[in-house]
Amino acid sequence: MTTATIAAPAETAPRHAGASQGANGTRQAARLLSYGDALNEALHQEMARDERVFVYGIETKAFGSLRGLAERFGPARLLTTPICEEAMTGFGLGAAINGLRPVHVHIRVDFFLLAMNQLANMIAGFHYGVVGELPVPLVIRAIVGRGWGQGFQHSKSLQSIFAHFPGLKVIMPTTAYDAKGMLTAAIRDDNPVVSIEHRWLYWQEGEVPEAPYTVPIGPGRVLRDGGDVTIVATSWMNVEAVQAADILARRGVSVEVVDVRTLAPLDDTVMVESVAKTGRCVVADCDWVSYGASAEIAARIGEKAFGRLKAPIERVGFAPAPCPTARELENAFYPNAGTLVRAAERTLGLSPADLSGENFYSHERRFTGPF
């Protein structure tokens, strides 16, 4: 595999994604856009569509996803904030319950931990606590993922923590198509939505219609059809899963890849249907395994497809350690397509294949330091 491009095939996207058609009811012409540019286009279109939408963060670039917003909409709708994470998160709640539709951007999810009081104690329960009298149309985008020697305070993925609190929606778009459609849906949603965006996905290209559209928050999606084993993956792990599927295909193993897309509330229909078909399941999350999203997903599959399972569910995630910085340790910390191949082989009872000739995805494919 030389690129990790994931397109949204014409027959797949509407079936599983429920993609909206263009205004004239016809499908838009194919156009390739990067994930970061797709997010940027969603923000441009939603800010133009609805003057209540505004964006803010401690820096106003966010890996290119905020490009052009200040020039087009002015500083009152693209705010640079003081380094006050808790206050600015509560600020988003206050603005959301008082007539605006804020989009808050954290360039590292680790910084979001400073705001957990507002998120967990104020935002998650707010709508419930006023018996539905005030909606909370707040989007919090948090960028996660593997950096370049970023270490243990710049590299977390905290999706399972956010997904634990009733009242928060948590999305993890993987493709450029979903990035635009799900961010658009999140901005139009009357609930607080946490969007977890893996920074390596920002360079991934995919087919993205130019006209505004929404991808529903909720259902997962089959990214690749297969019959022997299901890999249920979140975010970047879908890219690794597709590569693992390519490798396994050469051994005659057909892998189905299911992109979870929305972690909370978790609609498990697509993943359960897939495992019911294949009977084997690997759950791949870009996070720690213990108490992580992979635990919830495995539990759901165990509850709902128990009778169809032919082997124990395998889980793949980060090594149970804080994230180290040295490249050799970093490589041992993060799972990749090779890790997924091994997990799939275990569920299938296959001997380990020789992976020495494989070219796995790495920083050097795209990013080289120093900053």
Partner 1 sequence: MSERAALAATLYRRVYRIRRAEQAIIAHYGENGMKTPMHMSMGEEAIAAGVCTALARGDKLFGYYRSHALYLARTDETERFFGEMYGKADGAVGGRGGSMHLAAPDVGLLAVSAIVASTIAPAVGAAFAERARGTGNVVAAFFGDGAMEEGVFWESLNVACVYRLPIVFVCEDNGLAVDVTAMERQGFRSIKKAVAGFACDYAGANTTDALKIHQLATAARASTLATGRPVFLHLKYYRLLQHIGIQSDFDGAAPGFEKTGYRSRAEYEKARRRDPVRIARLAAARNGCTVAEIKAIEAEIDREVDASLAKARHSAAPDPCTVTDHVFAPTEDTARMERTPPMERTA
Q: In the set 6, 109, 217, 340, which binds partner 1 (CB under 8 A)? A: 217
Active-site entry in 16, 41, 46, 85? 85
Which range touches partner 1 (CB under 8 A), out of 172-180, 216-224, 335-343, 348-356? 216-224
Query: Contact between 131 and partner 1 (CB under 8 A)?
Result: yes
In a 13 Å sphere around the CA of 13, the CA atoms on its Cβ side amount to 26
- Positive/negative CA dihedral, 18, 21, 23, 24: negative
Is residue 261 near partner 1 by the rule CB under 8 A? no
Q: What are phi and psi of 274, to 5 degrees?
A: -65, -45
Q: Encoding tokens for residue 275?
A: 């495992």
List strands edge to edge, sheet with 193-198. 78-80, 53-57, 101-106, 139-144, 193-198, 169-171, 262-264
Is 85 one of the catalytic residues?
A: yes
Which 293-352 residues touch partner 1, going by CB under 8 A? 303-309
Element counts in the chain: helices (H) and strands (E): 13, 14
Residue 122 binds partner 1, judged by CB under 8 A: yes
Which one of the spans 32-40, 81-89, 200-208, 226-234 is the region binding partner 1 (CB under 8 A)?
81-89
Query: Residue 35 CB, nearest distance to partner 1 (Å)?
Result: 22
Q: Which of 142, 185, 201, 247 binds partner 1 (CB under 8 A)?
A: 185
Among residues 183 and 247, whose Cβ is nearest to partner 1? 183
Establish whether 256 is a catalytic residue: no
220 binds partner 1 (CB under 8 A): no
Catalytic residue among 154, 240, 296, 330: 154
Q: Which of 7, 116, 134, 319 binds partner 1 (CB under 8 A)?
A: 134
Number of residues engaging partner 1 in binding (CB under 8 A): 61
Which pairs from 291-298 meet CB under 8 Å and 24+ separation?
291/160, 292/160, 292/317, 293/159, 293/160, 293/163, 293/234, 293/260, 293/263, 295/160, 296/160, 296/163, 296/263, 296/266, 297/232, 297/260, 297/266, 297/268, 297/271
Would you give the distance in Å from CA 255 to the centre of its chain?
A: 21
Catalytic residues: 85, 154
Where do contacts with partner 1 occur on this chain (CB under 8 A)?
54, 76, 79, 81-82, 84, 86-100, 102, 117-118, 121-122, 126-136, 166-167, 169, 185, 189-191, 216-219, 265, 267-269, 272, 276, 303-309
